[in-house]
Amino acid sequence: MIDKVSGQLDSLIEGDFSKTERPKGNSELINLYDKVQILGDNFFHSQSNLENQRNQLDSVLTYMVDGIIATDRQGNIILANHAAQNQLNMTAEELLGKSLTDSLNIKDKFTFYDLLEKEPELVIDSVNSIGEAISLRTKFVLFRRESGFISGIIAVLHDTTAQEKNEREQKQFVSNVSHELRTPLTSVKAYLEALEDGALEDPEVARSFIGVSLNETNRMIRMISDLLTLSRIDQERLVLNKELINFVDFLTFQTNRLARLAKSNPLNSFSGNFQITTDFPEKPIWIEIDTDKITQVIDNIVGNALKYSPQGGEIHLTLSTQNRKLIVEISDQGIGIPKSDLPKIFSRFYRVDQARNSQTGGTGLGLSIVKNIIELHGGTIVAASEGIGKGTTFTLTLPYSEDLLDSNQDWDDTAEIEFE
């Protein structure tokens, strides 16, 4: 009997919680055996609860966006979740057992005991697992036992790269808007004051001053209109009114209209002799788009080609389809774009040539709006240039399916839209 109770205790010590047959005999030994079984049940439930809590903690740490690193009392890392591994571009094997100050590359400024005493908040520069430079706002918290004894440090790494970028862009945006509105307002104010001081008495001078003031006023109106459009895009309030059209006819109409504009040049916003050429397929290409907004896209790109090609030349448009995409390329022989500026030209208020842009009345918002309109349609737009004086090519794509017309059974394919 005693051997059976002893054997059951040995099983509990080894982690075996299975129950053996209840012995018979002395009631006191049976009582002892029952208590051993109750003790085993309590151990089993406690172990199960601890295992569940550990699994829950592992799940929380695994799916946290912030990086979490825990150390022992010597400052060596004993835990690093997936976020921390990605942020520091190191594997768990590379981090575990390594000094915290070495892993965060701060040992030249802080010792582990500095972190214990000061619990500073630091901004650490790092390169993540996909090669991006990131900023990590890092907080250190002492890890204490219930007795109050310090057993290590927990470091929380929060990636603030996107937040800091947004803050910089907001500040830059406010600065740019203030500058772009102040410049024409200052000009208008100066001309109005000149008219008030007597220039109004000279009809020719007065007409010139009024003309400049109207141009500057129109520039501000265009800018405010563009800002409102961007605001609606940012707030996801810009609605696309799509219709099924033959894009070949649509682009042909737009090209002919812009060719007439290039010859008449009513706003005197560009110079030079232009020739607009096309390479369009004869077969219709049916696609669903918001014609007003895609017209705005074409106007902006071709308009830039006219304004930034002071010697004139050829503006060539091609249209094709490939891999379920409609592709439009617009090339010019203008001043071109430096390769270093190409990634930035779709940013708001970004200008390659400030002086020339002020002369042509651009707001610096057009290409940003163009990019947003194309992306709202599910497409893409990119620019390519070999550099200054070598022209520019814009390539835009839109989703396209040859089955689109067949899926619209109520569409009369004999009734084509006439663009007038």
d(CA 206, CA 214): 12
Task: Calculate the alpha carbon distances from 202 to 157, 210, 397 in Å.
Answer: 69, 12, 54
Check residue 249 and give its pLDDT: 94
Q: CATH number of the domain that 307 lies in?
A: 3.30.565.10
The reply to whether 201 falls in a domain is: no
Same domain, 254 and 393: yes
Please answer whether residues 316 and 279 qualify as being in contact, where contact means their C-beta atoms are separated by less than 8 angstroms: yes
What are the average pLDDT values for consecutive 10-residue runs of the chain, which has 420 residues? 66 66 66 74 74 71 83 90 92 91 90 86 90 92 76 90 83 78 88 88 89 87 84 82 93 91 62 83 92 92 85 89 92 87 82 53 77 93 88 93 60 45
The reply to whether 365 falls in a domain is: yes
d(CA 330, CA 306): 12
The residue among 144, 163, 182 that closes a domain is 163
Same domain, 57 and 74: no
Q: Which two tokens stand for residue 188?
A: 């208008």
Q: Which domain holds residue 87?
A: 67-163
d(CA 398, CA 287): 9
Check residue 370 and give its pLDDT: 93
Q: What share of the chain is helix, strand, coil (3-state, %, to 5)?
A: 50, 20, 30
What is the per-residue pLDDT across 174-195, written as a single tens digit (0 to 9) for each? 877 887 788 889 989 998 999 8
Q: Which two tokens stand for residue 213?
A: 């003031």
Same domain, 255 and 389: yes
Q: How many CA atoms lie within 13 A of 23 on its CB side?
A: 21
Statement: the pTM of the whole predicted model exceeds 0.75: no
The reply to whether 218 falls in a domain is: no
Same domain, 252 and 370: yes
Same domain, 338 and 287: yes
What is the per-residue pLDDT across 62-84, written as a single tens digit (0 to 9) for each? 778 899 999 998 899 998 999 99
Check residue 20 and give its pLDDT: 63
The reply to whether 316 falls in a domain is: yes
